[in-house]
Amino acid sequence: MSKACGLLDWRLAQDRLLAAVAPTSTERVPTASASGRVLAQPLIARRNQPATDLSAMDGYAVGAGDLTGPWQLVGESAAGHPFTGNLTAGQAVRISTGALVPAGAKAILLQENARIDGNQLSTITGTKAEAKHIRRAAFDFAAGDTLLNAGTSLSPAALALALMGGHGIVDVFRRPSLAVIDSGDELASDPAATLPHQIPSSNGPMLAAMAAPYVSAVERIGPVADRKANLLAALECASAADVIVTSGGASVGDHDLVRPALEEWGATIDFWRIALKPGKPLMVARRGKTVILGLPGNPVSSFVTGWLFLLPLLRRMGGHAAPVPQAVMRLVEGDLPATHERAEFLRGIATDDAVAPLDEQDSSALRVLSQANALIYRPPGSPAHPAGSPAPVYLLQNGGIA
Please state the φ and ψ torsions of residue 391, each to the nearest 5 degrees: -145, 155
Angle formed by the axes of helices 228-237 and 258-265, to 10°? 60
Q: How many CA atoms lie within 13 A of 287 on its CB side?
A: 19
What does the pLDDT read at residue 257? 87
End-to-end CA separation in angstroms for the chain: 30
Tell me the C-alpha distance between 378 and 206, whole Å.
25
* 305-354 pLDDT per residue, tens: 999 999 999 999 999 999 999 999 999 999 999 999 999 999 999 999 99
What does the pLDDT read at residue 5? 56
- What is the widest separation between alpha-carbon atoms in the chain? 94
Cross-strand bridge partners of residue 193: none
- Strand, helix or coil for residue 160: helix
Tell me the C-alpha distance between 183 and 374, whole Å.
28
Distances (CA, A) of 218 to 173, 177, 271: 17, 6, 25
What does the pLDDT read at residue 254? 54
For 293-324, give one letter per residue: b (16+ CB within 10 A) or e. bbbbbbbbbbbbbbbbbbbbbbbbbbbbeebb
What does the pLDDT read at residue 168? 98
Distances (CA, A) of 65 to 57, 117, 213: 20, 20, 57
| Arithmetic mean of pLDDT over the chain | 94
For 75-87, give one letter per residue: b (16+ CB within 10 A) or e. bbbeeeebbeeeb
* pLDDT band at 6; cut points 50, 70, 90: confident
CATH node for 8-22+175-317:
3.40.980.10
* 270-282 pLDDT per residue, tens: 999 999 999 999 9
What does the pLDDT read at residue 255? 54
* 153-179 pLDDT per residue, tens: 999 999 999 999 999 999 999 999 999
- Domain 54-135: what homologous superfamily? Molybdopterin biosynthesis moea protein, domain 3. (2.170.190.11)
Distances (CA, A) of 189 to 8, 195, 224, 225, 243: 34, 11, 10, 12, 23
| SS3 letters across 121-147 | EEECCCCCCEHHHEECCCCCECCCCEE
Domain-by-domain residue ranges, the chain?
Answer: 8-22+175-317, 26-48+140-173, 54-135, 328-400
Q: Which amino acid is at 373?
A: N
CA angle in degrees (0–180, nearest 5) for 301-398-281: 15
- 379-382 contacts, C-beta under 8 A, 24 or more apart: 379/339, 379/343, 380/2, 380/3, 380/4, 380/275, 380/339, 380/340, 380/341, 380/342, 380/343, 380/344, 381/339, 381/340, 381/341, 382/338, 382/339
Tell me the C-alpha distance between 66 and 73, whole Å.
15
Q: For the chain, what's the residue count? A: 402
Average pLDDT over residues 182-190: 89
**Topology classification of domain 26-48+140-173:** Molybdopterin biosynthesis moea protein, domain 2 (3.90.105)
Q: Is the pLDDT of residue 399 over 60?
A: yes
Distances (CA, A) of 318 to 171, 216, 315: 12, 10, 5
CATH (one of 1.20.58.220, 2.40.340.10, 2.30.30.90, 3.40.50.2300) for 328-400: 2.40.340.10
* pLDDT band at 1; cut points 50, 70, 90: very low
Cross-strand bridge partners of residue 44: 146
* 29-57 pLDDT per residue, tens: 999 999 999 999 999 999 999 999 999 99
Tell me the C-alpha distance between 166 and 162, whole Å.
7
* pLDDT band at 2; cut points 50, 70, 90: very low
Q: What percent of the chain shows pLDDT beyond 70?
A: 97
For the ranges 114-123, 174-183, 393-402, which has the lowest average pLDDT?
A: 393-402
Give this prediction's pTM. Answer: 0.88
- 267-272 contacts, C-beta under 8 A, 24 or more apart: 267/235, 267/292, 270/16, 270/17, 270/20, 271/8, 271/13, 271/16
Report which DSSP code applies to 367: H
